[in-house]
Chain A
Amino acid sequence: MLRDPSFRTGLRDGGVLVPAVALFGVAFGALAVEAGLPRWLTVLTSVIVVSGAAQFALVGLLATGAVPVLVATTGLALRHVPMGARLAGMIGPRSTALRLALAWVLVDETFGLTITAAQRGVADPVRYKAGADLALYSMWVAFTAVGALAGGRVDPETWGATVFFPLMFLALAAPLVRGRRAWMVVAMSVAAALASVLVLPEAWRVTGAAAAAAAAGTLLPPDRAGR
Chain B
Amino acid sequence: MSDLALVVAMAAITYASRVAFLVRTGDPPGGLVGRFLDVFPLALFVSLATVGLAAPDGDLDLSIALVAAGGGVVGAAVTKRSLIGVLSFGAAAWWAARLVT
Residue numbers in B under 8 Å from A181 (CB-CB): 39
Least CB distance, B1 to chain A, in whole angstroms: 4
B14 touches A73 (CB 8 A): yes
A99 CB contact (under 8 Å) in B10, B22, B54, B73? B22
A196 touches B22 (CB 8 A): no
In the complex, what distance in Å separates the CA atom of A76 from the CA atom of B48?
11
**Does A172 lie at the interface of the complex (its beta carbon under 8 Å from any beta carbon of B)?**
yes
Known: A37-B3, A49-B7, A175-B81. A84 touches B18 (CB 8 A): yes
**Chain A residue nearest to B24 in the complex (CB):** A88
How many of chain B's residues have a CB under 8 angstroms from any CB in A?
69
**Does A149 lie at the interface of the complex (its beta carbon under 8 Å from any beta carbon of B)?**
no
Residue numbers in B under 8 Å from A79 (CB-CB): 17, 44
1/0 per position for B17-55, CB-CB distance to A under 8 A? 111111111011100110111111111111111111111
Q: How many A-B residue pairs have CB under 8 A?
A: 274
A102 touches B22 (CB 8 A): yes
Known: A164-B91, A192-B47. A182 touches B11 (CB 8 A): no
* Main SS at interface, chain B: helix
Least CB distance, A196 to chain B, in whole angstroms: 7
B42 touches A185 (CB 8 A): yes
**Chain A residue nearest to B52 in the complex (CB):** A166
A173 touches B42 (CB 8 A): yes
Residue numbers in A under 8 Å from B16 (CB-CB): 77
**Does A194 lie at the interface of the complex (its beta carbon under 8 Å from any beta carbon of B)?**
yes
**Does A30 lie at the interface of the complex (its beta carbon under 8 Å from any beta carbon of B)?**
no
Interface residues of A (CB under 8 A from B): 13, 16-17, 20, 37-38, 41, 44-45, 48-51, 54, 58, 62, 66, 69-70, 73-74, 76-90, 93, 96, 99-100, 102-104, 106, 108, 111-113, 115, 160, 162-177, 181-182, 185-186, 188-190, 192-194, 196-198, 202, 205-206, 209-211, 213-215, 217-218
**Would you list 24 pairs from A and B whose C-beta atoms are within 8 A, ordered by A residue?**
A17-B83, A20-B87, A37-B3, A45-B10, A58-B6, A73-B13, A77-B17, A79-B17, A80-B20, A96-B25, A103-B19, A162-B65, A163-B91, A163-B94, A165-B52, A167-B68, A169-B49, A174-B83, A182-B39, A185-B46, A193-B46, A196-B51, A206-B47, A217-B39
